Structure 1
Amino acid sequence: MDGYGYTLAAAIAPMLRAEREKAALTQTQLARRAATTQQHVSLLEAGRLAPTTAVLDRLFDALDLQLSVTVEPRDADLDAGIDSAAVDDLACDLRIAHRMTKRFETEVPFVIDGQLAAAALGVPIKVRRTDLAFAESDGEQVAHWLRELPNVRRWCDTWHDFAPIDRDPRKPGPPHYWTPWGELYVRLLPTLPPPIHVVVEDERYPIRPLADVEADYPQIARIIRRARERAASRAP
C-alpha cells in the first residue's frame, strides 16, 4: 500500500461536498451528525483522505442518503487524473516542502518523495500531500523536528483521524501528519539515494529518483504506466 487511497478519495470528495452544501450544512454540523470531526470532513472533501466504509455510511446517513456502486472501464480514473493534473501548482507544492524542512535546527539530508517527486520529474499527477524521505540514521533528528513543528497531529488508525499523539515516525503507526502547511508523510530509508536536483523558481530541490518512487508507490506506478501508454498511442 502506498497510502494515497487516490481513486476512492478523488471520487468521494466532490460528491460529499455537493450533498452537504445542498443540505445547507456546515462541515462542523455534518461532522457532529456523523460522529466525526470537522477536520475529517474537510480532508474528505479535499480528496486528501481515503474514507472507510463505516465513515461513509455515517456521513451519507446524516444527509439522508445512501451510496450506490457502479463500475467503469479500467484506468478511467487514471485518465481523469492525468487530464486534470495541475502542473502549474508544482512551484507552490515545492515551496511547502521547503517551508517545512527549513525549520530543521541543523541540516538533515532528505529527498522529496511520492507524488510531489513524480510531479517534479514530469509525471502528470495531482499532488495531495508532501512526502519526505530521510535516512534511518537521522531518525532522532527527524523525530525532534516533527515534535517542534507547530500544531502538528499524527494519523491515528484507531480514531480514523489526526490526533495529538507521539510524532516520532519510528514509533508504531502511520508516519502521516497534519500540519499548518497541509498533509505530510515521512519515510525513513536504510540509506538515502543520490537525489536528482530540480530547479524551480531559482530554488534547488532534492528529488528521489523516479525509478525508486515507482517501485515503492504502486498507485504512482499505475499513473506512470498509463501516461506512457497514452503517449505511445499518440506517437506517429
Structure 2
Amino acid sequence: MPSTRLVTLLGTVLRQERQRRELTQRQLAGLAEVSQAAVARIERGERAPSVPVLERLFTAMDVQVVVAVEPLDAHLDARIDELAARPIGERIDELGLNETLDRLTDFPQVLTGSTAALLQGAPVPVDAVEIALRWKDSKRFTAWLEVNYGQRWNARWGEFGGVWLEPEEPGEHRWSTRYGEIRATMCDELPETIEVRHGGRDYQVVPLVELELAEPRAADLLRRYRARHRAVQS
C-alpha cells in the first residue's frame, strides 16, 4: 500500500521519539509487545498501524498521540510563516552550519539544496547541511566521515547505520556525523555558484533560480510562500 502523508508523519514521530530515548527498534518492540519488523515498517511509512498498536508503542515511551484537524497543508503555511519571521543568522546557528563548514576542509564543496536557499533568504525548512561534491573527491569524503563518526542512512531500517559509508555504494547520499546530518549531491564537476555573506562570513551557494529548477520541494514551498505573501499584501 502506498504511504500517505499521515502514515509517513506517524512513522517519523515514532522514530524521533524512540531515538530521543536512545531506544533501538528491538527494545521499543519489546516494551510494546510488538515485533521489531512491525516497528521498522511503521517508521518507514510502509505500514499504517492500528490504533491499539500505535497506543502501545507511544505509551511504552510515556507519551500519547493527540489528534486534531486543520485546513489542508496548514502546517506548511504555519512553518513557512515562522521561518520567514526568523533572522537568517539565527537559523544558520541552529543548523550548526558554520561549525560543519569549518571542518569540511579536506575537499572542495559548495552549498546546495535547502541550505543554499536558506542563505538566499528563502523560508524553507532545513534539517541538514546540503552540499554538492565531486565524485573524484568521494574517497576523501569517506575518510572524513570515518574520522567524524559518520553513519549512512539505511532506508531498509529507517535509521542511520548498518550500511557502507562510501558514496559509491547504493543508497541515499545522507549521513549523520558528530556535527549533524549531511546530505550530498554527487557530481562530476561542481555547479556554478554565487557568493552570499552573513555575519561576516562568505558562502558559496548554488543560485536560487537554479535550485528552483532542480529542487522540486523547495520550488513548491517558495511558490506557496510567494502566493501567501501576495495574498497578505493585497
Question: Under a length normalisation based on structure 2, what TM-score does the superposition of the two structures give?
Answer: 0.70
Alignment of 1:172-183 (within 5 A): 172-183=170-181
- Deviation sequence 1:11-36 (CA, Å, 0-9, x none): 9649x86xx9xxxxx82469523369
Alignment of 1:121-132 (within 5 A): 121-132=120-131
Which residue pairs with 1:27 in the alignment? 21
User: What is the Cα deviation at residue 218 of structure 1?
Assistant: 2.1
The change in CA–CA distance for 1:217 and 1:56 in structure 2 (over 3 A counts) is farther
The change in CA–CA distance for 1:9 and 1:115 in structure 2 (over 3 A counts) is farther
In 2, the alpha carbon distance for the partners of 1:80 and 1:11 equals 21
Amino acid at match of 1:52: G
Q: CA RMSD in A?
A: 3.7
Amino acid at match of 1:63: F
Which residue pairs with 2:190 in the alignment? 192
Identity %: 26
The change in CA–CA distance for 1:29 and 1:102 in structure 2 (over 3 A counts) is closer
Which residue pairs with 1:163 in the alignment? 161
User: What is the Cα deviation at residue 52 of structure 1?
Assistant: 2.0
Question: Under a length normalisation based on structure 1, what TM-score does the superposition of the two structures give?
Answer: 0.70
- Deviation sequence 1:59-91 (CA, Å, 0-9, x none): 543235997998754442320111222435233
| Kept after mapping to 1: 8 A contact 2:58/2:65 | no
In 1, the alpha carbon distance for the partners of 2:195 and 2:151 equals 30
The change in CA–CA distance for 1:69 and 1:145 in structure 2 (over 3 A counts) is same
**Residue 52, structure 1, aligned to residue 45, structure 2:** yes
User: What is the Cα deviation at residue 235 of structure 1?
Assistant: 3.9
Which residue pairs with 1:133 in the alignment? 132
In 1, the alpha carbon distance for the partners of 2:8 and 2:156 equals 20
- Structure 1: gaps (5+ residues): 21-25, 37-49
**Larger of the two Rg values belongs to structure:** 2
In 2, the alpha carbon distance for the partners of 1:197 and 1:128 equals 22
- Structure 2: gaps (5+ residues): 32-42
User: What is the Cα deviation at residue 112 of structure 1?
Assistant: 1.1
In 1, the alpha carbon distance for the partners of 2:221 and 2:81 equals 11
Which residue pairs with 1:226 in the alignment? 224
